[in-house]
Structure 1
Amino acid sequence: MDGRTGPVHEALATLALTDHHCHGVLTDTPGDGDFESLLTEGEAWPGSGISPFDAPAGVAVRRHCAPLLDLPRHVGPEEYLRRRGELGAAEVNRRFLTAARTDVFCVDTGFAPYPLTAPAALAAAAGAGGAGAVAYEVVRLESVAEAVVAGGVEPDGYAEAFRSAAEAAVRRPGVVAVKSVAAYRTGFDLDPARPTAAEVTAAARRFTADGGRLADPVLVRHLLWTAVDLGLPLQLHTGFGDNDIRLHRVDPTLLTDWLHLVAGTIPVLLHCWPYQRQAGYLAAVFEQVYLDVGLTLHHVGPVRARAVLEEALELTPPRKLLYSSDAYGVAEFYWLGALAFRRGLAELLQARVDADELGLPDALRFARWAGADNARRVYRFSDSH
């Protein structure tokens, strides 16, 4: 076999994926500069001679996305952008979302510097080919806290106001999880203990005076413990992100002491690169910890997806790996994320079957678990209101 054929490939090719963490797509055609910026977790650097279209994600777009726009493989950036503009945002979104063959989306609605589709519109575009799709919502807790302060609150009332606002947010129909971007605000080298009321009030006094982004370590700890109290799965950005991240501070093993204290909640470690091995260790030794390598896969491209997944799965129990695209803005990343995940996981599982290190029934089970079933167990979609 050539590594890209076999029963596992066939099973994953037809499996409808559950994308447990993603964002909306642009409702309008972006300008060329905006599109290039959205191809990278860094920035576009006009005049530098360095193009995001030449980075691994950009090369993958020109190779694997161009044919879905009726273009030849490896087309140049100018022709790619021209054709994208001709088709328009709605048609581009429909083509890539239906090609991804994803029937469940969990959408983080808390970050929208661009106009993005709401969860229902995302599902409608994905189901335009006839197969139904459904979208649920993930509440970003930092956005809730910042809205509370922007609306006006006294420091000694902050804790109760934030808790009430968070409880109201998660009671909305279709909410299945909460999320924290503590990785961007403080990193994970935090005191694991629940902060006292006096500590929260003192920190809230500083926050309410300054406003803006929640980045106080005490309030981040309070937010994480509030998430525990809410009782929903808690998605945590770890590892790879844009240049606000201080990468050495977002190794998920820095959360170890906190994980010992929160056995009743389900932390889901997002993205993880380059800490996919560390995340796998946590999933192996803490019953409640799950992980994905979303975002990473379309940025390393389909060629390297297998290597990332192999490192993530060195220790991770197969019941702990979830699929996500973490696609944001450009619909290409829904398609590339799904393609890279299917190809990378199929290659590594099929290789183990061919080497007689894994039975085919086990490989097929593991593929179904990671692609859809594990997320359904974690988020209990049938119980959402």
Structure 2
Amino acid sequence: MRAGPVHEALAALALVDHHCHGVVAGPLDRAGFEELLTEGDRWPGSSSFDTPAGVAVRRYCAPLLDLDRHAPPEEYLARRADLGPREVNRRLLTAARTGRFFVDTGFDADRLTPPAELAALAGASAHEVVRLETVAEAVAARGVDAGGYADAFRAAALDAVRAPGVVAVKSVAAYRTGFDLAPARPSDAEVTRAARTWLSAGGRLTDPVLVRHLLWTAVDLGLPLQLHTGFGDRDIRLHRADPALLTDWLHLIAGTIPVLLLHCWPYQRQAAFLAAVFEQVYLDVGLTLHHVGPVRARAVLEEALEITPFRKLLYSSDAYGVAEFHALGALAFRRGLGDLLQDRVDAGELSLADALRLARWAGADNALGVYRLPDGH
């Protein structure tokens, strides 16, 4: 493993993870653990340990549990069970050396640690990100007529974002409809017609008009908006999750709220273009980092940084379910960014002072500034 002044600075930096989830607080059997190691399906004869993420867990997380590197899956899972969920989570979360977590609480909340518990395990602080689709579906579940849906959703969203510790909202439109949506704000009549159809059918919010209404409501709320883009589970239609499809909408909302493009792979270059030409657009390559592993993290970060203004790159892990992904995401980010910046310093393409400043910006300060939290610059 390389070492240099930039690596040392990143190692000492308390990261700001601007998008993640809680971890499972209870025990996991092999099937449960392997399910959380992958975004895809498992099939007979396969193992999630036989993936880049699974190999990285055995390489980098095993020593944190007092095992040899590359410990066999059976030994790894046995040690996990011996230590117990709380100790495993504590060790892996503290190894990430994250100072602040911004936690999406809108999915699987009954199973995962809430923000305060996640922060306590890590010796850190936490803030909440409100998932707007979850708010909309709760409004529908409580019962509302089609004509009152828009006002009821807006009121519920306002209540949610006024709760203590909330710093942002999020949409998973990429999963529900994709981004090839009409960019304009839908009319009241369009929303009512769409709500009538959805409320009579029930289920998840997947109506394109109501998803457009949700995105415009996010603009009205005034908080930073996180948008899942690119890589995800099998619900994603990847060609519709290209953030470049948001271009016309971004023109319409210019001068309003920050838009944070999450994950982005394999569209990190498209996201970089948007960050370069739209003042309000920022990006990360979270989720991607622990799935490609520390060895390939540099390549993804390098493509994202080809044209991204240095004030526009943020760190996130998008870790979900297993604390291993918190540890791996942080390690991959520190190593990947450290390697590429240190190489530029060594080649005379970047001063050390600039490299240290850019590392601090990406690892912490950019997020603190966008979300208007103390210690941002």
Question: Do they fold alike, i.e. is TM over 0.5?
Answer: yes
Q: Do the aligned residues in 2 keep the contact of 1:26 with 1:114 (CA within 8 Å)?
A: no
- Give the residue type in structure 1 aligned to 2:74: E
SS in structure 2 at match of 1:139: strand
SS in structure 2 at match of 1:107: strand
Instruction: State the distance in 2 between where 1:76 and 1:23 align.
Output: 27
The C-alpha deviation readout for 1:348-379, integer Å capped at 9, x for no partner, is 00000011011111100000000000000011
State the percentage of identical aligned residues. Answer: 76
Equivalent in the alignment of 1:359? 351
* 1:44 positional shift: 2.4
* 1:345 positional shift: 0.1
* 1:107 positional shift: 0.2
Equivalent in the alignment of 1:65? 61
Unaligned runs of 5+ in 1: 128-132
The C-alpha deviation readout for 1:228-259, integer Å capped at 9, x for no partner, is 00000000000000000000001000000000
Structure 1, 109-118 or 29-38: larger mean CA deviation: 109-118
* 1:50 positional shift: 1.6
- Give the residue type in structure 2 aligned to 1:379: Y
Q: 2:278 aligns with which of 286, 295, 319?
A: 286
Equivalent in the alignment of 1:277? 269
Equivalent in the alignment of 1:21? 19
TM-score by length of 2: 0.98
Kindly report which structure 2 residues correspond to 1:219-234, keeping only aligned pairs within 5 A, or say none.
219-234=210-225
Equivalent in the alignment of 2:335? 343
Equivalent in the alignment of 1:165? 156
TM-score by length of 1: 0.96
Instruction: State the distance in 1 between where 2:172 and 2:202 align.
Output: 17
* 1:281 positional shift: 0.5
SS in structure 2 at match of 1:342: helix
Q: Does 1:262 align with 2:281?
A: no
Q: Does 1:89 align with 2:85?
A: yes
* 1:43 positional shift: 2.2
- Give the residue type in structure 1 aligned to 2:304: A
Equivalent in the alignment of 1:130? none
Equivalent in the alignment of 2:35? 37
Instruction: State the distance in 2 between where 1:15 and 1:113 align.
Output: 29
Equivalent in the alignment of 2:73? 77
* 1:113 positional shift: 6.7
Q: 2:3 aligns with which of 2, 5, 11?
A: 5
Equivalent in the alignment of 1:197? 188
Instruction: State the distance in 2 between where 1:204 and 1:310 align.
Output: 43
* 1:194 positional shift: 0.1
The C-alpha deviation readout for 1:171-225, integer Å capped at 9, x for no partner, is 0000000000000000000000000000000000011101110000000000000
* 1:114 positional shift: 6.0
SS in structure 1 at match of 2:49: helix
Q: Does 1:208 align with 2:206?
A: no
Instruction: State the distance in 2 between where 1:332 and 1:44 align.
Output: 19
SS in structure 1 at match of 2:311: helix
Instruction: State the distance in 1 between where 2:160 and 2:330 align.
Output: 29
Q: Does 1:103 align with 2:99?
A: yes
**What is the aligned residue count?**
374
Instruction: State the distance in 1 between where 2:329 and 2:127 align.
Output: 19
- Give the residue type in structure 1 aligned to 2:281: V
Instruction: State the distance in 1 between where 2:149 and 2:27 align.
Output: 40
Q: Do the aligned residues in 2 keep the contact of 1:114 with 1:329 (CA within 8 Å)?
A: no
Q: 1:324 aligns with which of 308, 316, 324?
A: 316
* 1:343 positional shift: 0.1
Equivalent in the alignment of 1:299? 291
Q: Do the aligned residues in 2 keep the contact of 1:26 with 1:115 (CA within 8 Å)?
A: yes
Instruction: State the distance in 2 between where 1:98 and 1:28 align.
Output: 18
- Give the residue type in structure 1 aligned to 2:204: R
Q: Does 1:117 align with 2:113?
A: yes
- Give the residue type in structure 1 aligned to 2:236: I
Instruction: State the distance in 1 between where 2:296 and 2:119 align.
Output: 29
Runs ≥4 residues deviating over 3 A: none
Instruction: State the distance in 2 between where 1:302 and 1:332 align.
Output: 13
SS in structure 2 at match of 1:117: coil
Instruction: State the distance in 1 between where 2:128 and 2:114 align.
Output: 9
Instruction: State the distance in 2 between where 1:54 and 1:354 align.
Output: 36
Instruction: State the distance in 2 between where 1:44 and 1:94 align.
Output: 28
Structure 1, 174-183 or 205-214: larger mean CA deviation: 205-214
Equivalent in the alignment of 2:243? 252
Instruction: State the distance in 1 between where 2:327 and 2:309 align.
Output: 26
Q: Does 1:135 align with 2:126?
A: yes
The C-alpha deviation readout for 1:313-356, integer Å capped at 9, x for no partner, is 00101100000000001000000000000000000000000110
Structure 1, 314-323 or 25-34: larger mean CA deviation: 25-34
